[in-house]
Homo-oligomer: A and B are copies of this chain.
Amino acid sequence: MIKDKSFLIVGLGLLGGSMAMGLKKWNHRIYAIDIDKNAIDYALEKGIIDEGSTEIDADLIGKADVIISGLYPALIVDWIAENQKYFKSGALITDVTGVKGAIVDKIQNILRPDCEFIGVHPMAGKEVSGVQHADPAIFLPANLIITPTDKNTQQAIDFIYEMGKELRFNNICQLSVEEHDKMIGYLSQLTHVIAVSLMNANDSKELVQYTGDSFRDLTRIAKINEHLWTELFMMNKANLVEHIENFVNEINDFKDALQREDTEKMKQKFITSTQRRKYFDK
């Protein structure tokens, strides 16, 4: 159990707000900085945070034992570079970013030697954003992935495990930065590229009345925040391009079998996909 800590959430959106609410239940002190006055006012009014500011507040930053960045991926490195002069000595810094290779090394290379940064990816979310939709229940079915490097201490890793337990994540595990980005490129980013491309391949409004569950399931995630996902894709470009190419090769291989009327090959592909999918049944 983590006892009596002060957490600062920087960027109080859906994820940061949900973490604030989950940690508040354990009687930690929760501070937040967000440029949006509505977000801070709402969180103060609802008791989600103890103190908040819409500006850089050196005192607030300096009081935090743990700083959680809920900022957009492209902003994190600069925010830490500019504000680490206010960090408490010994502070642990972490984040919620969906791609790790583009930020973990950079932050660990610039960070003050008396502080520690450890990469964390809570694989949780909603189709809506903002602290107004925050809800710690989003962590109940979710994975918390920790991506430590050789610059991290066992103490920091253990702390994140304990924090993940307090937030009631379903599963807490470790991956290297490289493994994480390869995995997330396939399971999450490629699936979003497919959903978006299926939606965009055909102006199919007139097909709505015939649409069943298959098409709805495959395109649900085609509703997407264009700013966040463009940043995430750009930061994982090499992995994602490779995953797209492998997928396109496989679908073209299927198309060739269909065109050549190679029914045995088609059946074999259906058998393989059926067998593999069974591992993913809940």
Contact of A241 with B255 in the complex, beta carbons under 8 Å: yes
Contacts of A271 in B (CB 8 A): 226
Minimum CB–CB distance from A127 to chain B (whole Å) comes to: 10
Interface residues of A in 180-239 (CB under 8 A from B): 183, 186-188, 190-205, 207-212, 214-227, 229-230, 233-234, 237
State whether A183 and B207 are in contact (beta carbons under 8 Å apart), knowing that A193-B254, A273-B195 are contacts in the complex: yes
Contact of B224 with A274 in the complex, beta carbons under 8 Å: yes
A154 lies within 8 A of chain B by Cβ: no
Interface band, chain A: 35 or more
Question: Which residue of chain B has the shortest Cβ distance to A205 in the bound complex?
Answer: B279
- A197 and B253 CA atoms in complex are apart in Å by 9
- A219 and B190 CA atoms in complex are apart in Å by 12
- A178 and B122 CA atoms in complex are apart in Å by 47
Majority secondary structure, A binding face:
helix
Contacts of A263 in B (CB 8 A): 230, 234
Q: Beta-carbon contacts of A240-282 to B below 8 Å, as 1s and 0s? A: 1101111111111011001101010011111111101111101
Contacts of A102 in B (CB 8 A): none
- A139 and B149 CA atoms in complex are apart in Å by 54
Which A residues lie at the B interface, using CB under 8 A? 123, 142-143, 145, 171, 173, 183, 186-188, 190-205, 207-212, 214-227, 229-230, 233-234, 237, 240-241, 243-252, 254-255, 258-259, 261, 263, 266-274, 276-280, 282
Q: Which 6 A-B pairs have the closest CB atoms?
A: A226-B270, A199-B273, A222-B273, A197-B251, A226-B267, A196-B273
